Amino acid sequence: MISSTVNGSLRDLSKAGKSATRLGQQLITGKKVQSPADNPAAWLQAGRAQSTAGLLDAIHAGLNELATNIQVADTTMQAVGRDLGTMQSQLEEALKHPAGDPVRQQLVASFNSTRQQIDDLVNGTSQAGARNLMTDPASNPQAGDIQALVGLTGEMKIVHAQQVDTGKTGLQVPDVPVDATDSQLQAALANLKTAEQTLAARRNGLAADAGDISRYLDRGTRVSGFYQAQAESLTGGDPNEAAVELQSVNVQQSLALQSLASISTNRSALLELLQ
């Protein structure tokens, strides 16, 4: 009889100890489901939700990098626009001086230098993605559209290349001879106005793609948050509830220990009587 009672108390003590360990871990991590053994179905569903959220986060990281490239490209285009304005001022000033005038020739030379500055700026952009969006494929094999994964089902978004160097497939701004005639300078000015329009159109095209990327980023954040919340709801636990349950388990442990102590005392007393 005593042996059976002892075994029962030991089982209660062991069970309470395991429960206390589990609840203590729950209070530390905030998770009610710590392993498949706690709740196989919830564990599996939470794992799937967390995996989906992780994939969305990876997509989000890629889109963030692409957004950075777009921003760098736009900033570069803005600088190109300022250079075009400078070039226009240089030609307008050159026309105020007669052909052959050294000042006029210097202004035309400055025009050509600014033109080269545009190409150096575009082709020398440190951010590879931005550079690939703006440069000539003939000189940069990596130049062209950028494709980005934007959805869980393989949905793709294309960010279109917007070439803005001064070449023939870019803004089409050729060098001007330093001894150019008035008609040549006027033609170059008209060409600059066309280049400015081309730049504005290509910058607007980039902005449209940037808007799409921004919307995909917002959508990804919301969907990832949904899956993360789902995973948390499946595995998370109420800390107050766990604390109350842990108190109950501690009481059970105390009672089991008291029971063992009582059994030990009674057994000693019984042995003394038998002697």
Task: State the residue range of the domain holding 252.
Answer: 238-270
Same domain, 122 and 193: yes
Same domain, 257 and 130: no
What's the pTM?
0.72
* Residue at 9 is within a domain: no
- Res 270: pLDDT: 47
Same domain, 109 and 227: yes
- Res 22: pLDDT: 47
- Res 163: pLDDT: 98
- Res 272: pLDDT: 56
Same domain, 227 and 243: no
- Res 139: pLDDT: 94
CATH code of residue 160: 1.20.1330.10
Same domain, 110 and 49: yes
pLDDT per 10-residue tile (average), the chain, 275 residues = 53 53 49 66 81 91 96 98 98 96 97 98 97 97 96 94 97 97 97 98 97 94 88 65 53 56 55 54
Q: Which two tokens stand for residue 47?
A: 């794992």
C-beta neighbour count of 266 within 10 angstroms = 12
Same domain, 109 and 245: no
* Residue at 23 is within a domain: no
- Res 59: pLDDT: 94
Same domain, 205 and 255: no
Task: Count the domains in the chain.
Answer: 2
- Res 65: pLDDT: 96
* Dist CA 141 CA 123 (whole Å): 12
CA angle 197, 200, 205 (to 5 degrees): 125
Q: Which two tokens stand for residue 222?
A: 């919301």
- Res 20: pLDDT: 47
* Residue at 185 is within a domain: yes
- Res 13: pLDDT: 47
Nearest Cα residue to 130 out of 79, 190, 95: 79
Same domain, 257 and 132: no
Contacts of 9 (CB under 8 A, 6+ apart): 256, 259, 260, 263
Same domain, 122 and 222: yes
Same domain, 60 and 185: yes
Same domain, 94 and 225: yes
